[in-house]
Amino acid sequence: MNTLLALVLLAVGLLMLGKCASLLVSGAVSLANRLGVSPLVIGLTVVAMGTSAPEVAASIAAALRNAGDVAIGNVYGSNIANLALVGGICALIRPVSIKKQTLRQQIPVMLIVAILLWPVLHNLYLARLEGLGLLAVFAGLILLTVYLARKERKQLAKYKMPDTRHKIRDTKKSILFVAIGLAGLALGADLTVRGAVFLGQKMGLSCAVIGLTIIAIGTSLPELATSVAASLKGQQDISIGTLVGSNIFNTLLVTGVAGSIRPFALSARLAGVDYWVMVLISAGFAVVAIAAKGVIGRPGGALLLCSYLGYILYLLAFSI
């Protein structure tokens, strides 16, 4: 492979990730509308899962190529980018309102699952059994979320008649969108990993830094596009739900699937400074939200964005 081919693969792969994730989200949200759940629940589950699909595909592709550092670096980098980069940009565009339910339930869960990675990865190896354990926790959270959503739907049904005029996309078309999206994400992720690893290595970057920067930012583009669009439309629940839900999915689903398919070792830095940066950014996001009483304004957004830029400069300055 030469540099020109690597650039083409990276560009085509990232383009496919963005376009196919959009198709996947469109089809999934259409199907979810049949459940009559709230925008927050849709953001936390369907949209978050759709926008996390690139991370899943990229980390699986990396694990299959014995690039465990890329797989885990992608998880860390995407989580950091979601909260600091995407969250910061959204707050700069329009103050982000966070419901008390999210502050009291979803954000603490996000922090807990981030800390849960420490006993799993501190020995610098992700075993298949550990990956399956993370998937079991993920399945439990999904079942709990669905149960609470159904309970919420029943309560709303007592006070509001269903809107039969609401147009729902044809089910077959939605399923087709989901299928095309998943297939495209798998191919796009493989192209992205091939191109990014080659270019990063040519630049002298380690696999960990490649996952933390190039691939993490690329696979976070769906979250960025979805959250910015939601903020511009005033759909704060979907915006925050997507970010918080995606981080939970990345930590449990992405790591769990990658480890279950092929166990792998990782470098010491991913159980050290980079792991704790992810935890601190997650905790910092929660502190900013609580200190601002559930409304992250432009100052808070600027602080989040600056923290992300500072981390990227640190990676580039000390990792080449």
Does residue 167 lie within any of the structural domains? no
Work out how many domains the chain is built from and give that number.
Answer: 1
Element containing residue 201 per DSSP (H, E) = helix 171-202
- DSSP secondary structure string for all residues of 92-145: HHSPEE--HHIIIIIHHHHHHHHHHHHHHHTTSEE-HHHHHHHHHHHHHHHHHH
* Helix axes 48-64 and 221-232, enclosed angle (nearest 10): 170
* CATH number of the domain encompassing residue 226: 1.20.1420.30
Does residue 10 lie within any of the structural domains? yes
Does residue 242 lie within any of the structural domains? yes
Does residue 33 lie within any of the structural domains? yes
Q: What is the pLDDT of residue 207?
A: 73
- DSSP secondary structure string for all residues of 219-248: HTHHHHHHHHHHHHTT-HHHHHHHHHHHHH
The neighbour count for residue 249, using CB atoms within 10 Å, is 29
**Residue 212, amino acid:** L
State pTM to two decimals.
0.77
CA 164 vs CA 36, 158, 168, 170: distances in Å: 12, 16, 10, 15
Does residue 92 lie within any of the structural domains? yes
Question: Where are the extended beta strands (E) located within the chain?
Answer: 96-97, 125-126, 264-265, 295-296
Note whether 69 and 207 are within 8 A (CB): yes
Q: What is the pLDDT of residue 31?
A: 64
**Residue 83, amino acid:** L
Q: What is the pLDDT of residue 39?
A: 59
CA 18 vs CA 22, 51, 182, 184: distances in Å: 6, 9, 12, 10
Give the domain range for residue 44: 3-160+172-319
Cα–Cα distance, 77 to 1 (Å, whole number):
26
Does residue 57 lie within any of the structural domains? yes
Q: What is the pLDDT of residue 165?
A: 45
125 strand-pairing partners: 265
Q: Whose structure tokens read 């696999």? A: 207
Cα–Cα distance, 144 to 96 (Å, whole number):
26
Cα–Cα distance, 235 to 223 (Å, whole number):
14
Q: Tell which residue, 134, 124, 137, 55, has the closest CA to residue 274.
A: 124
Cα–Cα distance, 226 to 143 (Å, whole number):
24
Over its length of 320 residues, how does the chain's per-residue pLDDT go in tens digits? 788 888 888 888 878 876 776 776 677 667 666 656 665 666 666 677 776 777 777 778 888 877 778 888 888 888 998 899 888 888 888 888 887 877 888 889 999 999 999 999 889 998 999 999 999 999 898 888 777 766 766 665 555 544 444 444 467 777 787 778 777 877 877 787 778 778 877 877 777 777 777 777 777 777 777 777 777 767 666 667 778 888 898 899 889 988 888 888 888 888 888 899 999 999 988 888 888 777 888 888 899 999 999 988 888 776 65
Does residue 165 lie within any of the structural domains? no
